């Protein structure tokens, strides 16, 4: 079998912040590769530096040292935890915006946005405004927007953290459905072990601050994964034992 090709190489990233209480070291020499078209889950406790890491990969923040290099298209589609929609724009305008910034024609923007709105089940809501949508629907809009942007890397930062358990399960299915039809490298951040195992081709477990990679897991579980199977629960126990959950 051919070796998977590397899409993003993250090399020796370190990052500290000056705070009133002194210097806080957040990322501690973090290195890993992201492979073409994989669904990579970054799993770590709250406040460990996951968002800082993603922002660094997306070039929103600069590391103190280390580098991020992309093989090919370096633009990323971003899905944030708190929706981050334009409240004054309709659903379809929200979804079209990044593609429009890339200089696509109005027709192409609309057609692409409609395709992804349809895929996330929001075909009938293109003229609605974000305030008229539930949390799950808003996050569907954000996901449609990330895919419409045309980036071949999609970064999702705890996208379902604010949703109730039932909606969260539905959204996890939604993300896996998109996986089947859309070619993209996905980096998905969560603090939820079960979500990580349900979704990930590969899971990188991060420690608390200063954050570094504790372990890597490749769940050898057939899809759709069964959250109550003995194999699933055994992996959950294994990861739980290694995750820093101290208060
Ligand atoms: N701009 C900043 N200034 C100071 N501290 C920051 C800044 N951004 C992040 N941090 C600190 O970095 C740590 C990790 O934050 P974050 O990446 O948001 O964690 P999480 O893993 O929950 O996404 C936090 O303790 C936070 O206080
Ligand atoms: Mg975060």
Ligand 2: distance of its center to the CA of 58 in Å?
14
CATH of domain 1-75+153-247: 3.40.50.300
How far apart (Å, rounded) are the C-alpha atoms in residues 206 and 42? 7
Ligand 1: distance of its center to the CA of 27 in Å?
10
How far apart (Å, rounded) are the C-alpha atoms in residues 34 and 4? 10
Scan for tokens 């990188």, then name that residue. 204
> Which one of the ligands is nearest to 44 CA?
1
Preceding omega of 21 cis (within 30 degrees of 0) = no
Q: List every span in the chain annotated with CATH 3.40.50.300.
A: 1-75+153-247
Tens-place pLDDT, residues 121-146: 999 999 999 999 999 999 999 999 99
Q: Pick the residue whose CA is nearest to atom 19 on ligand 1.
A: 47
Please check whether residue 143 is in contact with residue 174, taking contact to mean a CB–CB distance below 8 angstroms: yes
Which pLDDT does position 1 carry in this prediction? 60
How far apart (Å, rounded) are the C-alpha atoms in residues 204 and 195? 13
Q: Pick the residue whose CA is nearest to atom 6 on ligand 1.
A: 17
Please check whether residue 224 is in contact with residue 172, taking contact to mean a CB–CB distance below 8 angstroms: no
Which pLDDT does position 95 carry in this prediction? 97
How far apart (Å, rounded) are the C-alpha atoms in residues 84 and 1? 41
> Which one of the ligands is nearest to 26 CA?
1
Backbone angles phi, psi at 59, to 5 degrees: 65, 25
Average pLDDT, consecutive stretches of 10 residues, N- to C-terminus, the chain (247 residues): 87 97 96 97 96 95 97 89 90 95 94 95 96 94 94 95 92 94 95 97 97 97 97 98 81
Task: Kindly report the pTM of this predicted structure.
Answer: 0.95
Which pLDDT does position 81 carry in this prediction? 83
DSSP character at residue 123 = G
Which pLDDT does position 15 carry in this prediction? 98
> Which one of the ligands is nearest to 81 CA?
2
Which pLDDT does position 244 carry in this prediction? 79
How far apart (Å, rounded) are the C-alpha atoms in residues 108 and 101? 12
Q: Which two tokens stand for residue 197?
A: 């195992």
Q: Pick the residue whose CA is nearest to atom 4 on ligand 1.
A: 17
Backbone angles phi, psi at 108, to 5 degrees: -65, -40
How far apart (Å, rounded) are the C-alpha atoms in residues 108 and 206? 40
Ligand 1: distance of its center to the CA of 28 in Å?
13
Which residues form the pocket of ligand 1, taking CB atoms under 6 Å from any ligand atom? 17, 19, 24, 26, 44, 46-52
Q: Which two tokens stand for residue 211?
A: 């954050």
Which pLDDT does position 216 carry in this prediction? 98
Please check whether residue 4 is in contact with residue 186, taking contact to mean a CB–CB distance below 8 angstroms: no
Strand order in the sheet with 22-35: 22-35, 6-19, 65-70
DSSP character at residue 158 = S
């Amino acid at each position: 079998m051919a070796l998977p090709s590397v899409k993003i190489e993250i090399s020796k990233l370190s990052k500290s912040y000056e705070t009133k209480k002194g210097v806080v070291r957040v990322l501690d020499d973090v290195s890993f590769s992201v492979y073409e078209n994989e669904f990579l889950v970054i799993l770590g406790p709250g406040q460990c530096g996951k968002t800082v890491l993603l922002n660094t990969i997306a070039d929103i923040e600069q590391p103190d040292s280390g580098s991020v290099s992309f093989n090919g298209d370096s633009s990323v589609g971003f899905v944030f935890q708190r929706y981050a929609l334009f409240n004054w724009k309709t659903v379809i305008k929200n979804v079209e915006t990044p593609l429009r910034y890339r200089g696509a024609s109005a027709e192409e923007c609309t057609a692409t946005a409609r395709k992804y709105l349809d895929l996330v089940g929001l075909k009938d809501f293109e003229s609605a405004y974000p305030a008229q949508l539930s949390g799950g629907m808003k996050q569907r809009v954000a996901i449609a927007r990330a895919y419409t942007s045309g980036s071949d890397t999609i970064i999702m930062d705890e996208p379902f953290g604010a949703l109730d358990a039932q909606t969260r399960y539905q959204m996890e299915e939604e993300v896996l459905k998109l996986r089947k039809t859309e070619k993209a490298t996905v980096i998905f951040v969560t603090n939820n072990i079960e979500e990580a195992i349900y979704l990930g081709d590969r899971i990188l477990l991060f420690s608390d601050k200063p954050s570094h990679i504790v372990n890597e897991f490749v769940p050898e579980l057939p899809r759709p994964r069964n959250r109550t199977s003995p194999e699933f629960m055994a992996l959950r126990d294994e990861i739980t034992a290694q995750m820093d959950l101290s208060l």
